[in-house]
Structure 1
Amino acid sequence: MSITSFFDKQKEQSLIKARIVEKYFWAWANVMIPSAKKYNSKIAYIDLFAGPGRYEDGSKSTPIKILETAISNPYMQNMLVTVFNDADTKHINSLQEAINSIPNIANLKSKPKVFNHKVGEEIVKILEQLKLPPTLFFVDPWGYEGLSLELINSVVKNHGCDCIFFFNYKRINMALSNATVEEHMNALFGNIRADQVRQQLKTLQPGEREITVVEAICEALKEMGGEYVLPFCFKDKNGNRTSHHLIFVSKHIKGYNIMKQIMAKESTEQHQGVPSFEYNPATYRQPLLFEFSHPLDDLEEMLLDTFAGQTITMLEIYDRHHVGRRYISKNYKAALNNLEAKGNITADPPANKRRKKKGELTFADSVKVTFLPKQ
């Protein structure tokens, strides 16, 4: 598929990706606005691979939806600064036209800034020198050219700045064994880690390759300072292969928690109520293929092992355990209810003192849990 044909019609995967970004932008902005009001400052949204603004079928792309969201909120109208860039001159002209046609676009205090530059070292250097206001940085390149650890860190280094970027696993997987694009892969993973990954991939099967590549980029981001990293996987139409990941990077647990809830809801499948953090079109056609794992049982075993002999609240259990795992708050509550029913833990207040909601026993964040010591 060429970059031109990509924008002919918005595909379901692009729709889900855009929805995740839009939902997070709204939630992120509402967290940042009170502080921005207090200090009379700004918040920002930057998209360096913005595209033409609309697909050929008329569907709105992410930049237009972000601006429409800002126009709908009086505080965002006054506080939001937006920067859009694309290396394709036709895309930029189309984007500017689409922006100009948005109803009430003049209500934005800061006019959207639109640029036509190739993303590379020059832009990285400019961003590195800036002290940005709280910024949501969206990086969605066609492939991988221009995407680098330095680019992501140039924004995430600042307070209140988060990044969501497109990680084209299919193309990156091939590129890691292609000497002609070694420079791009080194920029993305770091020189030493890129060499390590290349060596590891030589003996791995496809499923193992994906885990190795994604873990490598997540570890590189963490070492860079993006402590909280969360990938969301997109499968191809047959559900057999991964096409790409959307990866979230933040320095703050609050952003991580918000994005985790958003990605959980956009997952196409759940095993025992545990979200897959994956969009898989095949799930709807072959649902029985995805019913054989038991992640909630695994969580119960992990909790018994990790917290043996301790008395601790539900919220403390969640905060200390969930980062880097696909479990969300309701999964921990379900697991604790199960463990209490089995007699593996005691809870204060106990089950007979807690109310039911929609027929299910609740487990509030403040409930104290006592785990039996290891035998």
Structure 2
Amino acid sequence: MSENFFDEQTEQSEVKATLVAKYFPAYMGVIGNAQKRYGGDRIAYIDLFAGPGRYKDGATSTPVKIIEQAIANEDMRQRLVAIFNDKDEDNVRSLQTTLEALPGYDQLKRRPHIQHGEVGDEIVKRFEENKLIPTLFFVDPWGYKGMTLRLINSVLKDWGCDCFFFFNYSRVSAGLANDLVEKHMDALFGRERAESLRKRFEDKVLRPVEREAFIVEEMCQALKDMGGEFVLPFRFHNKKGTRITHHLFFVSKNFRGYAIMKEIMHAHATGKHDGTVNFEYNPADVRQPMIYGLLRPVDELGEMLMKDFAGDTHGITEIYEKHSVGTPYVLKDYREQLCKLEREGKIIVDKPCPPRPKNTMAPQHKITFPKR
């Protein structure tokens, strides 16, 4: 790791921390409500590459944001089980000091468990052999060492567990061409997928944007193959906006979590060319079906709905859950496009839009699409 990595928080790190921190209270709320029906009382947050808690410029990192939120919420204070790990003992001591200095820290029912150690087979085996309580899992390695599909699956296997991981695209792309780190690439993608990528890059001269699209597509598919049904990648550029450097992946087995995270990512996207982060995957084409799906302009949604639901009758909630996975569209887009189709006389809604406010469609309204 660069010696000055924690000197100043980059805009990239700030956005990453914000995305995770915004999802955390929503996750706690959804899981907490479900647990109340069955008697569960603990929800975990695990960060295996936690860092020192604060950058030298004073900015707070993700662990501090999480604990501050827990302190401010009575239900979180009672339920949260936080586990932070870092291989650097100085980082562990700094994080401990930073957390203990937070106002209200002593109100937490369970103090965070903070430890230091390398992330490897021992931790993975421990997760694999135990049934975990609902856990939001965050993996943010400097490069790729310790980041494996097996690690993600060891947590994601259990009910209520979601995962974020920061994918260092620049280093992974270089690693696929480096025989010295072959085992790390195999552990990250799975041996078969990693070998397929190596052969593709050997045989063809690809533009950087094409190379990125293939790598991200294979990562998404690898996560899906191991049971991570809902996957969202969020792309980061360098400061000048000239090169893609990282991706933040979100993985879940539950549509509710996927829908919440998509709204959060959508709100923080900057568009195709503006700024540091980008939710759209414009380099992709039909050779990368999942990433290509995130390219579709909203103007295409209406026609897609007419085709995909021809002859069917559904409510907007069902339409959204059945159709939105693998697309860039959020619930607001579906409402707007369905109301537009209704105004154009292309669909039938059991309670017509007027006198409803513009671009509204309630869950109880049934929408009928004509046969094609």
Using structure 2 for the length normalisation, give the TM-score: 0.90
Partner Cα distance (1:324, 1:201) in 2? 25
Matches within 5 A, 1:166-315: 166-202=166-202, 203=204, 204-269=206-271, 277=279, 295-315=297-317
CA distance in structure 2 between the aligned counterparts of 1:294 and 1:223, rounded to whole angstroms: 24
The DSSP-based 3-state class of the residue aligned with 1:137 is: strand
Residue by residue over 1:35-92, the C-alpha shift from the partner in whole angstroms, topping out at 9 and shown as x without a partner, is 4445153111100000011000111111111111111112222221111101112211
CA RMSD of aligned residues (A): 2.0
Aligned residue number for residue 324 of structure 1:
326
> Counterpart in 1 of 2:88?
88
Give CA deviations for 1:190-238 in whole Å, capped at 9, x if unaligned.
Answer: 0011111222233232222111111111111111111111111112223
Partner of 1:350: 352
Further displaced range: 223-232 or 70-79: 70-79
Contact 2:280 2:328 in 1 (8 A): no
8 A contact 2:296–2:327 mirrored in 1: no
Aligned to 1:18: 17
- 8 A contact 1:120–1:146 mirrored in 2: yes
Stretch moving more, 262-271 or 127-136: 262-271
Aligned to 2:166, what secondary structure does the other structure show? strand
Contact between 2:296 and 2:328, CA under 8 Å: does it hold in 1? no
- Offset of 1:142 from its aligned partner? 0.2
**Aligned residue type for 1:308:** A
Q: Distance in 2 between matches of 1:205 and 1:112?
A: 46
Report the count of equivalent residues: 353
**In structure 2, how many angstroms separate the alpha carbons of the residues matched to 1:141 and 1:69?**
23
Counterpart AA for 1:179: D
The TM-score with structure 1 as length reference comes to 0.89
Deviation at 1:276, TM superposition (A): 5.8
| Contact residue 335 and residue 359 of structure 2 kept, 8 A | no
**Could you tell me how far apart the structure 2 residues matched to 1:67 and 1:372 are?**
51
Using a 3 Å threshold, how does the CA distance of structure 1 residues 43 and 336 change in structure 2: closer, same or farther? same
Counterpart of 1:240, as a letter, is: T
Partner of 2:74: 74
Report deviation, 1:312: 2.4
In structure 2, the CA distance between the partners of 1:116 and 1:278, relative to structure 1 (3 Å rule), is farther
Contact 1:264 1:276 in 2 (8 A): no
* Structure 1 unaligned residues grouped into runs of 5+: 280-292
Residues 316 and 75 (structure 1), Cα distance of their counterparts in 2 relative to 1, 3 Å cut: closer
8 Å Cα contact 1:18-1:62 kept in structure 2: yes
Query: How far apart are the structure 2 equivalents of 1:294 and 1:251?
Result: 24
Give 3-state SS (helix, strand or coil) of 2:4's partner.
helix
Match of 1:365 in 2: 363
2:45 touches 2:135 (CA, 8 Å); kept in 1?
yes
Who is 1:101 aligned against?
101
Indicate the percent of aligned positions where both proteins have the same amino acid. 51
Contact kept? 1:234, 1:278, Cα under 8 Å: no
Change (3 A) 1:201 1:339: farther
SS at match of 1:248: strand
Structure 2 residue runs without a partner (length 5+)? 282-294
Alpha-carbon distance between aligned partners in 1 of 2:49 and 2:74, rounded to the nearest angstrom: 27
Amino acid at match of 1:299: L
* Structure 2 equivalent of residue 116 of structure 1: 116
- CA separation of 1:365/1:58 partners in 2, compared to 1, >3 Å: closer, same or farther? same
Structure 1 counterpart of 2:9, one-letter code: Q
Correspondence for 1:3? 2
- Tell me which moved more, 229-238 or 41-50: 229-238
Using the TM superposition, give the Cα deviation of residue 116 of structure 1 relative to its aligned residue in structure 2, in angstroms.
Answer: 0.9
**Is residue 255–residue 321 contact of structure 2 (8 Å, CA) maintained in 1?**
no
Aligned 8 A contact 2:176 2:198 in 1: yes
Once the two structures are superposed, the pairs formed by residues 145-184 of structure 1 within 5 Å of their partners are 145-184=145-184
Inter-partner Cα distance in structure 2 for 1:35 and 1:317: 24
Match of 1:290 in 2: none
Distance 1:299 1:326 in 2: 10
Distance 1:101 1:147, change over 3 A: same
Letter in 2 for 1:373: K
**C-alpha distance in structure 2 between counterparts of 1:113 and 1:158, whole Å:** 21
Q: How many angstroms apart in 2 are the aligned matches of 1:366 and 1:4?
A: 57
Kindly indicate whether the alpha-carbon contact (under 8 Å) linking 2:236 and 2:278 is maintained by their aligned counterparts in 1: no
Q: Could you tell me how far apart the structure 2 residues matched to 1:370 and 1:270 are?
A: 34
- 1:256-292 Cα distance to aligned partner (Å, 9 max, x none): 1111111111112389xxx96269xxxxxxxxxxxxx
Distance 2:312 2:228 in 1: 30
